Amino acid sequence: MTLLELALNTPVVEREGCLRAACGGDRQLMEEILERAQWEERMGDFLLEPLVPRVELDTRSQPNSLFSLRSHAA
């Protein structure tokens, strides 16, 4: 388990003490891991969910094919 995984799997109130022990007193490393864990929690599943829905194409593409993402509805 990486230190970041350890941090994310530890309750927030226990996280600093757990990382202090795991980092062997390396305060700079501990602070870096704490900061990364905070960013991971803020981001959540942001990158897992697309902002724009994917467009399914009706046909397979061929070499030199051109595609338009604009709707054909008038």
pLDDT digits (tens, 9 = 90+) for 2-23: 999 999 999 999 999 999 999 9
Q: What is the pLDDT of residue 69?
A: 64
Residue 42 has pLDDT above 70, yes or no: yes
Mean pLDDT (the chain) is: 81
Q: Sign of the CA dihedral 11, 15, 21, 23?
A: positive
* Rounded Cα distance, 3 and 10, in Å: 11
Residue 33 has pLDDT above 90, yes or no: yes
At 45, the pLDDT band (50, 70, 90 cuts) reads confident
* Rounded Cα distance, 22 and 19, in Å: 5
